[in-house]
Structure 1
Amino acid sequence: MANSIQNRLIEVTVQAVKQLYNADISENQIALQETRKEFEGQITIVTFPVTRFSKKSPEQTGAEIGEYLKAHISAITDFNVIKGFLNICLSDEYWISLLNETIVKSDFGVFPSNGKKLMVEYSSPNTNKPLHLGHIRNNLLGYSVAELLKAYGYDVIKANLVNDRGIHICKSMLAWQKFGNGETPESTGMKGDHLVGKYYVVFDKEYKKEIETLKAEGQTEDEAKKNAPLIKEAQAMLQQWEAGDEAVIDLWKTMNTWVYAGFEKTYKQLGVNFDKYYYESNTYLLGKDIIQEGLDSGVFFKKEDNSVWIDLTADGLDEKLVLRGDGTSVYITQDLGTAQLKYDEFKMNDSIYVVGNEQDYHFKVLFLILKKLGKSWADGLFHLSYGMVDLPSGKMKSREGTVVDADDLMSEMIETAKERTEELGKTEGLSEENKNALYNTIGMGALKYFLLKVDPKKRLLFDPKESVDFQGNTGPFIQYTYARIKSVLSKVNFDEQSKVSVPVSISAYERDLIMTLGNFPSIIAISAQEFSPAQMSNYIYDVAKLYNKFYHEETILKAEIEEVKNFRLHLSASAAKVIAKGMSLLGIEVPERM
C-alpha cells in the first residue's frame, strides 16, 4: 500500500469517529492491512477498536465508517464489511496514477539522509582457518543489513573485528614451524587461509597423538591435555608473542598476511566489503582503563586473588570476571575497550554486532556493564543474533571433514547452477565467458537468497540443490523473472523515460502488481528497522510471482491498444527496477538474460 493513501485513510477515519460518534481516537489505534485475497478490496480497516465509541456491532460500525470514507475520499469506489473488517476498493484511476506519478519516478524508494550514523560489525574471522558456512550467513546478513540501513537514510560504517591473536593462531604457527618444511601459498598453490588452516588441523592431530601417548604412560585425560609437549610449546609461543619476541612476531605477520590474502578472495567472491578493520592484536589490551574506571566508581569489585568482577545477580545474570588476578584480559575486557574505541572514533548513534546466538549471554553482559558504567551510547548497542546453518547430511563433504568450507560451498553452488542451467537449455547463444559469469551469478544468487529469506533468528537447513531451483521461492526464480522482463523490454527498445500512457481501465493482475510495487519504500523501512533481509527477500519474491501472473494473463507486446501496451511496458520496467534494487540490497546480482 502506498503511504499517501494509507495516511489519508487513517486521517479520514479519525475524522469519521469524531463526526459519527463524537469521540477522539488516536491515529495509531487505526489498524490497516491488505485485504485478504478471498474478499473484494485492496485495503482493510480493522473496526473492532472503534466499537467502544460507536456502541454498535463491528458490522454496523464498519458500514457507517465505510459510507463516510466513500463520501470524503474520491479514490474509493466501493466497500464491504466482513465481521469487524472494512474492505476498501480503490479506483483504477488511483492505481494508474500511483504508477504514473510515483513508482516510475527515478527517486521512488530513495530515502533522504536521516543524519544518523550507525556501525554494523560482521564477519569477525579467526586467522587460524578459512571461513566456513557459518561465516557465510554472518557475512551475508551483516552486508545486507548494512545496505538496507544505508538505503533507509543512515550513514553506515561496515566494520570487521579480526581475531588475529591468541592460542589458536599459535597452534597453526607452531605446527607450520615443525611440520611445514617451508611451505607457502606460492609453493603449494593453496589459498593462504587454507594453508594456515591445514596446519591448525595438523596441530590437532599431533596433539591428540601426544595425549594418547601420555595416557598410555598412566596420566589422566586432563593431565595429558595439560602436559602434552605441543600445547606447552604453543602456550610458550603465545607468551613470546605477547612479550614482543621478534622471530615469533615475524612468523605471525607472515602467516597472517597469507590468511588475509585468502580472506580477501573469499570476501570478493561473496560480494561483501568493509569500511573499517579492527584487529584483536591491537585491541586486546584495551579495556584496562575502563576496568579501573569501574573500580573507582564501585561498579566492579576485587576479590582476594586481585581478580576484578561485577555482580549482575540483581539483573538476573551472575557474577562476571572482567580482569584476571594476574592482570591479564579476558574477552569482556577487550570488548569493553573496543566498544569505547569504536565510539570515540566514529561517534555513531547505534552499533549492531552480527554474531551467532551462542554469544547471546556474552552480549547481554557486555551491554549491561556499559550501561552501568554510565556510557551514554550504550543504549544504541544491539546484538543481531542469528541461528546456525545446517546442511542435509551427506550433501557435501568439507575439506577437513569437520566444518563446511566457504570456498568449497561457493564452488559447489556455481557448479550446481551450471548443471541446472544447461539441463534447462538456458545458455544458447552465450559465449563461454558469458556462460561462466551467468553460472556465477545464478549460483551465488541462489546461495545468498536461500540464506537471507529466513528470519535471522531461526536456525536453517541449507539444501544446495533446492536453492538452485528455477521455480518457487528461490534466487534463480527471481533472477529469471528479471531476465524475462528485460527480454520483453529489449524487443521494442523500450525507453523508460517515455511518457506513461493512461489506459481507460486496468485488470486485477495489473492492479495487484502496482499495489505491491507501491509497498517498496515501506518494505525498505521495515527491513531496516527490524534488521531483517528476510522481509525484503520475501517481498521481492511476491513481486516476481505477481509479475509472472500478469505476464501469463495479459498480452504486453501484442496489446491491440497502443496506450495499453505502453502502460504495460512501463509497469514491466517498474517491476524490473524494484526487483533489481531489492536484490542489490541483499547483495544479489540480476542477469540481463538467462
Structure 2
Amino acid sequence: MTLQETLTTHIQKAVQSIFDLTIDKVEFQSTRKDFEGDITMVVFPLVKALKGNPVEIGNKIGNYLVENVEEVEKFNVVAGFLNIVISDAFYVNFFNSIKNNDTFGFVTPKESEKSVMVEYSSPNTNKPLHLGHIRNNLLGYSVAEIIKASGKKVYKTQIINDRGIHICKSMLAWQKYGEGKTPESTGLKGDKFVGNFYVEFDKQYKTEIKELITQGKTEEEAKKVAPSILEAQEMLRKWEAGDEETVMLWKTMNQWVYDGFEQTYKNLGVSFDIPNYYESNTYLLGKEVVQLGLEKGIFEKDPDGSVWIDLTEDGLDRKIVLRADGTSVYMTQDIGTAIQRVKDYPDVGGMVYTVGNEQDYHFKVLFLILKKLGFDWAQNLYHLSYGMVELPSGKMKSREGTVVDADDLMEEMTITAKKISEELGKLDGYTNEEKASLYEIIGLGALKYYMLKVDPKKQMLFNPEESVDFNGNTGPFIQYTYARIQSILRKSNFEYEQTVPSTIEIHEKEKELIKLVQLFPDIIQNAADNHSPALIANYTYDLVKEFNSFYQNVPILPEQDMNKKVFRVQLSKTVGNTIKNALQLLGIQVPERM
C-alpha cells in the first residue's frame, strides 16, 4: 500500500471520528521545499462540508494522525495545507518490501481485461521512413509498452498505405527510368530505391507543368493534363481493374519497400504484435456498414446517390461516406477497418491511433460515427495526436527529396555519440566491438529520449547535437547515471542483500529517493491514462537528478556503518532498476558500462 493510500484511509477515519462525516476522496500534493513535511494534505476541499476554519480542521486531523498512525511523526499547518512528517521506519519498511521486485510498478494484465490495439507507423510504400515517422513510431511503441505495463493486454499494429496514385507515381517512374535495376543490383535499401523514383516522377511532372504554362495553360490546368499525371492515373485504373502486369509490378515494388521498412524497424527497435493491415485489402471495407447506417437512419442519401452523415448538431459538419458512383472514401475505409479489427481480435475493447495532428478533425468524425453506429468499444478510441518535427534547417518535403531519412538520422546519431564519447575520453579499455555497440545504444537512446520527453501534442525542434549532450535532460545523461550505479554494484565486494532493520536512521537524500521510487507505479498509470511517454521521461530525469544529488552528498562505499552502507547500495540498485524499467517503456537500452 502506498503512502497516499495509507494516509487516505486514516484521514477518512479521522474525519468520521472528529466531524461525523464520510469523505470519499483526499487530495495530496508534494510538500513545498520551504516547509517541513514529506507529504501535504490539501484541507480546502473539506472546508465547506465541515463548516470550519481550514487551520483548525488541519490541526484536528494532524493531532488524530500523530496519536493513531505510527507512520506519522509530527505535522504543521500552513493556511489550508496540512504538512505531514513521516517516520524513517515507514520508508525503510516500504523499501524492504519492494527492493527485490525487479518489475516494481508494472501490473500483470488480467486475462479477463479487454485489450487495447495501438496503431502506429502506417507508412506509404512510395518512400522510405523519415524523421516524422520516427516520432510516430517511437510514440506509438512507447505508449503501447506503457499501457501494457499499466495492466492491459496490447496489440501493436499498423496499416500500410500500399495503394493509390502516389504508389503508381513510383511505379511509373521505375518503368520509364529504372532500366531494369533492382535494390539488389544497386545495393540500395528497397524503400530508398523506390523513394528515389517517387522523387524522379515529381521532377518530371514539374518540368511538364512549366512547359504547359509557357504554352498558355494555367497552373491548375497544367497540373491536370501533364502527361505524367495522366499516365499515373491510367496505371491506377489498370491496378483497380486487376491488370496482371500492373499488379505484378505493384507487388514487386511494394515488397522491395516492405523489406526496407523491416530493416529500419529493427534498427529503431520497434516491432508489431500482429500481422499488418494493408489498405489494398481494407479500402472496400465499410461499404456494407454504410447500408446498415442508412437503414438505421444514421446516414442519409442525397439525390445524386452519394451517402452522407450530418454531424452539425454535434458541432461538426456533413461528411460524405460514399460517393455517388458507389466508391468509398477514407472515412468509409477507416470505419470498416476498425470494425474488422474487432472481428479479428474480439477481446479488443479500445484502440489508439498514432497519427499527426493534421488529422484531428478526421478522427473526431470517425469516433463519433462509430459511436452512433452503436459499437460499445467506440467509447474507448483515442487519437494520439502529435505535432510536426522540424530541424534547425526547417521543414521537410517528401516529393522534393528534402526529408531527413530515418536510417541516415540513426546512423548520424551513432556517429555523433562516437564523436562526443571520444572527446570525453570515457571508453578506455573497451574493445572496438564494445565501443561500436555502446555508440549505437547512446545514439539511439539520445534520439528516443529527445523525441519522447516532449509532450506528444507539441510541435518540436529536433537538434541531434543537443540530444547527445551528457549533461541535462538527455538520454545519455540518464544512461550514464545508470552505468554509474552499475559501477557501484561491481565495486561492492561484500554481501548487500540482507534486510536492513527498520530502526535505521536514514539521510534526507535517501528519503527523497525512496519517495520518488514509490511514485513509479502512479507515474505509469498516469502516463497510460494520458497516452504520454513524456511523463515517464521527465520522471526518470527527476529520479536521476535526485540520485546524483544523493551520490554527491552521501557516502556510499566509504560509509563505515555497515547497515547504512548495505542500505545505500541496495537503494542504488533499486534506483538503477527503476531507471532501466522506465527507459524500457521508452524503448531505450541501458549500458552496463559507459
Pick the TM interval, shorter chain. Answer: over 0.9
Letter in 2 for 1:337: G
* Match in the other structure for 1:292: 291
Which of 490-499 and 370-379 deviates more? 490-499
CA spacing shift, 1:65–1:456, aligned 2, 3 Å = same
1:331 aligns with 2:330: yes
Instruction: Give yes or no for contact 2:198–2:399 (8 Å, CA) kept in 1.
Output: no
Give the equivalent residue in structure 2 for 1:458: 458
Distance 1:480 1:106, change over 3 A: closer
C-alpha displacement at 1:254, in angstroms? Answer: 0.8
Match of 2:219 in 1: 221
User: Equivalent residue for 1:192?
Assistant: 190
Alignment of 1:471-550 (within 5 A): 471-493=471-493, 497-500=497-500, 504-550=504-550
Bigger CA drift: 102-111 or 126-135?
Answer: 102-111
Cα distance in 1 for partners of 2:256, 2:86 equals 62
Structure 2: distance between partners of 1:349 and 1:496: 45
SS of the residue corresponding to residue 250 of structure 1 reads helix
> d(CA) in 1 for partners of 2:421 and 2:289?
57
8 Å contact 1:17–1:50 — kept in the other structure?
Answer: no
Task: Judge conservation of contact 1:473–1:541 (CA < 8 Å) in 2.
Answer: yes
Residues 299 and 372 in structure 1, CA contact (< 8 A), matched pair in contact too: yes
- Look up the match of 1:344: 343
Taking the TM superposition and a 5 Å limit, the aligned residue runs for 1:377-416 are 377-393=377-393, 401-416=401-416
**SS of the residue aligned with 2:565?**
helix
Write the distance in 2 (CA, Å) between the matches of 1:491 and 1:374: 62
Say if 1:103 and 1:518, in contact at 8 Å, map to a contact too: no
SS state at 2:384 partner: strand
Give the CA deviation at 1:53: 4.0
Matched residue SS, 1:349: strand
**Cα distance in 1, alignment partners of residues 353 and 397 from structure 2:** 30
Task: Name which of 59, 62, 81 aligns with 1:66.
Answer: 62
Is the 8 Å Cα contact of residues 502 and 567 (structure 1) preserved in structure 2?
no
- The Cα offsets for residues 457-511 of structure 1, whole Å up to 9 and x where unpaired, read as 1111111111111111111110000000000101125667544465620110111
Kept in 2, the 8 Å contact 1:523–1:536? The answer is yes
Per the normalisation by structure 2, the TM-score is 0.96
Partner of 1:280: 279
CA deviation map 1:337-394 (0-9, x unaligned): 1011001111201111111110011011111111122222211211111111111127
What one-letter code is carried by the residue in structure 1 that aligns with 2:100?
A: V
- For the residue of structure 1 that corresponds to 2:320, the secondary structure is strand
Structure 2: unaligned runs, 5 residues or longer: none
Corresponding residue of 1:268: 266
* Aligned counterparts of 1:212 and 1:4: Cα–Cα separation in 2: 69
- Rounded to whole Å, the distance in 2 between the matches of 1:18 and 1:97 is 28
CA 1:501–1:424 in structure 2 vs 1: closer, same or farther (change >3 Å)? farther
Q: 1:412 to 1:399 in 2, by over 3 A?
A: farther
Distance 1:510 1:38 in 2: 19
* CA contact 2:30–2:39 (8 Å) conserved in 1: yes
Relative distance call for 1:464 and 1:399 in structure 2 (3 A) is farther
Secondary structure in 2 matching 1:310: strand
- 2:193 counterpart SS class: helix
* Runs (5+) with no aligned partner, structure 1: none
> Aligned match of 1:43 in 23, 39, 45?
39
Q: Give 2:67's aligned amino acid.
A: A
In structure 2, C-alpha distance between the alignment counterparts of 1:35 and 1:518, rounded to whole Å: 15
Task: For 1:251 and 1:53, locate their aligned partners in 2 and report how far apart those are by CA, in whole Å.
Answer: 73
Deviation at 1:128, TM superposition (A): 0.3
For residues 119-172 of structure 1, give each alpha carbon's deviation from its aligned partner in whole angstroms, at most 9, with x where no partner exists: 001101000001111111110010011111111111110011000010000000
> Is contact 1:322–1:333 with CA below 8 Å preserved after alignment?
yes
Counterpart-to-counterpart distance in 1, 2:73 and 2:64 = 12
Cα distance in 2 for residues equivalent to 1:248 and 1:389: 36
C-alpha distance in 1 between matches for 2:51 and 2:560:
54
Aligned residues: 590
Letter in 2 for 1:547: F
Where does 1:430-449 land on structure 2 (aligned, <5 Å)? 430-449=430-449
Q: In structure 2, do the counterparts of structure 1 residues 397 and 409 end up closer, same or farther at CA, with 3 Å as the change threshold?
A: farther
Task: Give the CA deviation at 1:212.
Answer: 1.1
Give TM-score scaled by structure 1 length: 0.96
Cα distance, 1:396 vs structure 2: 10
Amino acid at match of 2:229: I
Q: Is the 8 A contact 2:443 2:468 kept in 1?
A: yes
CA contact 2:441–2:591 (8 Å) conserved in 1: yes
Q: Does structure 2 retain, via aligned residues, the 8 Å contact 1:161–1:279?
A: yes
1:250 pairs with one of 238, 248, 257: 248
Matches of 1:501 and 1:19 in 2, distance apart? 34
- Tell me how far apart the structure 2 counterparts of residues 119 and 144 of structure 1 sit (CA, whole Å): 13
The alignment partner of 2:156 has SS state of: strand
Question: Is the Cα–Cα contact under 8 Å of residues 122 and 355 in structure 1 kept in the other structure?
Answer: yes
CA distance in structure 2 between the aligned counterparts of 1:325 and 1:481, rounded to whole angstroms = 62
**In structure 1, how many angstroms separate the alpha carbons of the residues matched to 2:524 and 2:75?**
29
Which whole-Å CA distance do the structure 2 matches of 1:503 and 1:20 have between them?
Answer: 32
Match of 2:27 among 23, 28, 31: 31
Letter in 2 for 1:110: F
CA displacement at 1:60 relative to structure 2: 2.1
Q: Distance in 1 between matches of 2:331 and 2:9?
A: 50
1:401: how far off?
4.8
Q: Alpha carbons of 1:478 and 1:5: their partners in 2 closer, same or farther (altered >3 Å)?
A: same
Q: Tell me how far apart the structure 1 counterparts of residues 378 and 395 of structure 2 sit (CA, whole Å).
A: 43
Mapped to 1, the partners of 2:390 and 2:20 lie a distance apart of: 58
Once residues 206 and 400 of structure 1 are traced to their aligned partners in structure 2, the CA distance between those partners, rounded to angstroms, is 11
Question: Residue by residue, what CA displacement relative to the aligned partner does 1:499-530 show, whole Å, maximum 9, x if unpaired?
Answer: 44656201101110011111111111111111
Task: Pick from 224, 227, 230 the counterpart of residue 228 of structure 2.
Answer: 230
Amino acid at match of 2:261: F
